Amino acid sequence: MSLKTVLFIISFLFSSLALAAENISVISSGALKIHTFHGISNSHLIETKNELHLIDAQMTFKHARQLKKYIDSVGKPLVQVILSHNHPDHWFGAEIFSSQTPIATTANITKDLKNGGYRYIKNLKKKLKDNMPDQVIKPDVELNLGQHNWDGLKVIVEEYAEQESHHSLVLKLPEHGIMIGQDLFYNEMFLVASDRNRNKHWVEILQNFSANEAKHYKTILVGHGKNSDPAVFTQDIKYLNALEATLAKGLTQQQTQQEMIKQFPEKGGKGMLAISMRNLFNPH
């Protein structure tokens, strides 16, 4: 990712700090509750009978503290914070939790954080100042892929490579038909694309979900936008295919951006579209 792209991300994300602290939605399924904090990105709080598990920790300390205040109000212990991938809008806030709660992710995502996290800190620090960490978060626990039991809740952890990020987690709750995919899924938002080859692989992953997981998982929790159903798979496939077709026309960066807005006028997050354009046209 180029410095120009990173600096644009600074401006776009910093402009989002005024989002409402109480922007919470809750899904109930039997004894299970999942609370979604809609900030710069989405954080999902899984509430079982006796404990809490958090997926992603927000971009800024401001939002992370708001999230922590809400979690404290639920009245159950937070036993882990899981990081879904290495983009800063999902892990910068983890420091707010790390003194009291273990931070967990896979070995691959830990490597992604180690390899690229410092660049985000270096380039975002001037803008976000004390609203972000000084150091890259070091996960305490290696999260293993496969089946887990969280306080009686069956959870399947999977990892997918080279799509929106280098590695991303998917959490499946098969007994409840719920799937948490974070930035593999955007609902009615412009997707942040990195390069055309990764976009094509992203489409393949989504097509597989549409053909298989959609049969069982009817509630899909996303990284950006409102939580959805399996229609989000085909929605994002349609967008990525349209993006590739538009790029194939050989238009300029500005023309491509304008064409995507014309094709998808209903989508939010035009700043994320601009990030994609910088990734695609200025990759270094």
Give the model confidence (pLDDT) of 138-158 as tens digits: 999 999 999 999 999 999 999
Pairing of strands 141-142, 146-150: unpaired
Q: Is the dihedral of CA 213, 214, 218, 219 positive or negative?
A: positive
Residues 94 and 68: beta-carbon distance below 8 Å: no
Structure tokens at 199: 């976009």
pLDDT above 80: residue 231: yes
**Mean pLDDT, range 124-151, rounded to an integer:** 98
H helix intervals, the chain: 3-14, 61-74, 88-91, 95-98, 107-128, 196-211, 231-247, 253-263, 270-281
**Mean pLDDT, range 239-258, rounded to an integer:** 98
User: Domain 3-281: which topology?
Assistant: Metallo-beta-lactamase; Chain A (3.60.15)
* pLDDT tens digits, 24-62: 999 999 999 999 999 999 999 999 999 999 999 999 999
Distances (CA, A) of 205 to 13, 108, 159, 225: 27, 18, 11, 20
CA distance 85 to 56: 9
Other Cβ atoms less than 10 A from the Cβ of 238: the count is 14
pLDDT above 70: residue 7: no
CA distance 85 to 108: 9
CA distance 263 to 261: 5
pLDDT score, position 22? 58
pTM beyond cutoff 0.85 = yes
pLDDT score, position 269? 94
pLDDT above 70: residue 16: no
pLDDT score, position 19? 46
pLDDT above 50: residue 20: no
Distances (CA, A) of 46 to 7, 66, 76, 237, 241: 33, 17, 11, 28, 33
pLDDT score, position 188? 98
Q: Is the dihedral of CA 122, 105, 91, 132 positive or negative?
A: negative
CA distance 10 to 60: 11
Could you tell me which of 47, 61, 54, 170 has the C-alpha nearest to residue 109? 170
The model's confidence at residue 282, banded by pLDDT at 50, 70 and 90, is confident
* pLDDT tens digits, 157-214: 999 999 999 999 999 999 999 999 999 999 999 999 989 999 999 999 999 999 999 9
pLDDT score, position 235? 99
pLDDT score, position 21? 45
Structure tokens at 162: 């080279």
- Give the percent of the chain with pLDDT over 70: 92
pLDDT score, position 156? 99
The model's confidence at residue 8, banded by pLDDT at 50, 70 and 90, is low
pLDDT score, position 4? 46
The model's confidence at residue 15, banded by pLDDT at 50, 70 and 90, is very low
Q: Which residues of 9-24 are buried (b: 16+ CB within 10 A; e: fewer)?
A: bbebbeebeeeeeeee
